[in-house]
Amino acid sequence: MQPENTGDMARRRAILTDRERELIASDDTEEKEYQYQAASRIRNKIHDELPTDIDILEENHPELLKELREVVCEDGG
């Protein structure tokens, strides 16, 4: 499966892999176990990996951290 933006050959993921995006967005009841597993992986990335990335940005590139916060918090305050 190709990424949605096929014109961008260097496209990278943010938190979700392409497969995790498919699973989370799917209404297919036959994939519920895979959806649960994907949600668990995503939760682990949010709680275990993201804080480390934030610490690195805070210490080494605060402007990028500011951009990240603006994107993540733009709807939620």
pLDDT band at 13 (very low <50, low <70, confident <90, very high): confident
Tell me what pLDDT residue 8 has.
Answer: 55
Among residues 18, 17, 24, the alpha carbon closest in space to that of 39 is found at: 24
Among residues 9, 61, 3, the alpha carbon closest in space to that of 53 is found at: 61
Two tokens, residue 42: 């995503």
Among residues 20, 68, 23, the alpha carbon closest in space to that of 45 is found at: 20
- Looking at the predicted structure, is the pLDDT value of residue 75 above 90? no
Tell me what pLDDT residue 1 has.
Answer: 45
pLDDT tens, position by position, 25-68: 999 999 999 999 999 999 999 999 999 999 999 999 999 999 99
> What distance in Å separates the CA atoms of residue 71 and residue 10, rounded to the nearest whole number?
21
> What distance in Å separates the CA atoms of residue 57 and residue 66, rounded to the nearest whole number?
9
pLDDT band at 7 (very low <50, low <70, confident <90, very high): low
